[in-house]
Structure 1
Amino acid sequence: MNKTLAERQRESRRLLILELLLQLENRHIDERTLAAALRDMDWETARDVLRSELQWMERQGLVTLKNTEASTWSIWLTERGDLCARGETTEPGVARPALA
């Protein structure tokens, strides 16, 4: 089945989020910092779209989400998300890393 451009972009954005988390020593980032990092990489994403992606990723077991007192989310990379970001496992709906 051929994927649409929108599907490919969604899969790439999900992988990019996992890769950003993988770069962090504690595998954790807050929602605002993640949005800024995506924007800096020319992947500006509306807050509702980003939250929808993060919720999808949580349902797949790739990240864990926690609400903070400031009404933002804290995002934690799971072991499955780590493996997916490294290309050691695949997840339908997430692009594969280039070197995997």
Structure 2
Amino acid sequence: MRANNISDVAKNDPVICLYGESLLAKHKRQQIANVVSNKIKEMARLLMTIISMDGDISNFFDVLRFEMFGTLLSATKIISGYDDQNKSFKAPF
């Protein structure tokens, strides 16, 4: 990954790191590294969006509580570009 704020969030979150390690352990082919990198970036963007919505959140462990489901759902809609009027999604950025 390129060194930027998304990679910093991904590297500093234990859940994201464990998820990446798990994916890499399952898939041994070199081509999968790009796919895993993209998945990790998506999770880091999701965490960054949730942190911007709720300042009390610092990592994915905090997000995985039941009380945070509504915030997680709202952040997912923001990242995916959900349009309430058309009931459609854009591609994630």
- TM-score, structure 2 as length reference: 0.31
Structure index of larger Rg = 2
Where is the helix percentage greater, Structure 1 or Structure 2? 2
Higher relative contact order, structure no. (Cα contacts within 8 Å, ≥ 6 residues apart): 1
- TM-score, structure 1 as length reference: 0.30
